[in-house]
Amino acid sequence: ELSFPEQEKIRAILLSHGHYDHIRGVPAFAFNNSHHATKVFATQQTLEILCSHLIDGVIYPKFSESTSFLGKPALELRTLEPLKAEDIEGYRVLAIPVNHGVDAVGFEITSKDGKKIFYTGDTGPGLLSLWEHVSPHLLIADVTFPNRFENVAKDARHLCPALLKRELIEFRRVKGYLPRVILIHLSPKFEEEIRGEAQGMATELGVSIGIACEGEKLSV
């Protein structure tokens, strides 16, 4: 987790969708954000979920408004339109719809020197249409379940290594290459099983596939 001095440097937050595990950290961050209003970027539906279920004045204060203990808004809510690029703190950010049931998006983030990452957010299979919009050097992908739960993954609109492999094969067919891949959102009880399956997938595809860990810094 970030220290308070590190949190003070945060100027913008991207939210992929409104499920609790993806928005739960926002109120705690806002509570300690006494220096400036941090911009929160998300789709309209995700912002509505955040405001109606967490920072609603009941469970947590309405941090997008001035509070008595901070004396100012801690958050500035900004709506993202899918497939419309935005300049955010010097980065080009493109939100792209993904398959997760709710109004969910992934993000391609491009630096000033042209380095690109794509974060899928939570998603199930069926990514072919979005591969046409991205060209990342690094792909950060949701893999929640091991292969023996492939049908569960499909129903929950998540991925397992076998499903991701099919998506990567389609990516290579469309783009002509495969980026480095980092896997996230692994169910802790299945992590070792997923890790082994991911290593097999990396060998079969001839691509670098790693597992994210807390506090890890990635370079592109």
pLDDT tens digit sequence for 11-39? 999 999 999 999 999 999 999 888 889 99
Q: Which contacts (CB < 8 Å, 24+ apart) does range 197-205 have?
A: 197/146, 197/147, 197/160, 197/161, 197/162, 198/143, 198/161, 200/161, 201/161, 201/162, 201/164, 201/165, 201/168, 204/165, 205/165, 205/168, 205/169, 205/172, 205/178
**Which residues share a beta bridge with 78?**
41
Report how far apart the first and last C-alpha atoms of the chain are (Å, whole number).
22
Q: pLDDT tens digits, residue range 135-153?
A: 999 999 999 999 999 999 9
* Confidence band, pLDDT 50/70/90 cuts, at residue 2: confident
Q: Are strands 12-14 and 105-110 parallel, antiparallel or unpaired?
A: unpaired
Distance CA 26, CA 23 (A): 6
Contacts of 219 (CB under 8 A, 6+ apart): none
Residue 134 pLDDT: 97
- All structural domains of the chain, each given as residue ranges with its CATH number in brackets, are 4-79 (no CATH), 86-211 (3.60.15.10)
pLDDT 10s digits, 62-74? 999 998 778 889 9
Closest CA to 209 of 191, 192, 197, 193: 197
Query: What's this model's pTM, rounded to 2 decimal places?
Result: 0.93
Is the pLDDT reported for residue 176 higher than 90? yes
Q: Is the pLDDT of residue 1 over 80?
A: no
Q: What interhelical angle do 191-205 and 161-175 show, nearest 10?
A: 30
Residues of the chain with pLDDT > 70, as a percent, come to 100
Average per-residue pLDDT for the chain: 95
